[in-house]
């Protein structure tokens, strides 16, 4: 017999099979692209942050970013952009952070943007 809990929640996961789309914007730390999750069909925003895997300081910063994404993906509110996770690609030397795609939403002066993108 199975019980149900209204407060139980499974944290979202970063897509495994995804395709990069058009460039949405550039910021101080990287570029944001529209991307398509081939397994679920959903559109996401993918921020790509370059890093040097051979640099110990950069590796610490990337580890800190990954920990922050792990924390943020557990936040759920209608006014918070959903984080799905991140992947580290040593071949391209990029950390990709996957978040909910919000079509039509633009950054306004004075607003805080979690992706730090200039639209």
Is 12 part of any domain?
A: no
Which pair of tokens denotes residue 49?
A: 């942050």
Residues annotated in a binding site: 47
Is 3 part of any domain?
A: no
CATH of the domain at 45: 3.30.200.20
Give pTM, 2 decimals.
Answer: 0.78
Identify the bridge partners of residue 49 per DSSP, sorted by sequence position. 95
Judged by DSSP in three states, 36 sits in: strand
Is 114 part of any domain?
A: yes
Is 5 part of any domain?
A: no
CA distance 41 to 45: 13
Identify whether the C-beta of residue 35 lies closer than 8 Å to the C-beta of residue 18: yes
Q: Could you tell me the residue range of the domain that residue 78 belongs to?
A: 18-118
Is 38 part of any domain?
A: yes
Judged by DSSP in three states, 72 sits in: helix
Count of structural domains, the chain: 1
Residues annotated in a binding site for ATP: 47
Is 82 part of any domain?
A: yes
Local confidence pLDDT in tens for the 119 residues of the chain: 444 444 556 678 899 999 999 999 998 889 999 999 999 999 999 999 999 989 999 889 999 999 999 999 999 888 889 999 999 999 999 999 999 998 876 554 433 444 454 44
Is 13 part of any domain?
A: no
Is 11 part of any domain?
A: no
């Amino acid at each position: 017999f199975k019980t149900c809990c209204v407060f139980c929640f499974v944290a979202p996961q970063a897509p495994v099979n995804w395709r990069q789309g058009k460039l949405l914007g550039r910021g101080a730390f990287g570029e944001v692209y529209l991307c398509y999750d081939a397994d679920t069909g959903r559109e996401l925003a993918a921020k790509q942050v370059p890093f040097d895997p051979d640099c110990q300081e950069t590796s610490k910063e990337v580890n800190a970013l990954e920990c922050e994404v792990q924390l943020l993906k557990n936040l759920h509110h209608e006014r918070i952009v959903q984080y799905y996770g991140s992947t580290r690609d040593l071949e391209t030397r990029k950390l990709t952070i996957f978040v909910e795609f919000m079509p039509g939403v633009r950054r306004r002066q004075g607003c805080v943007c979690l992706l730090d993108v200039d639209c």
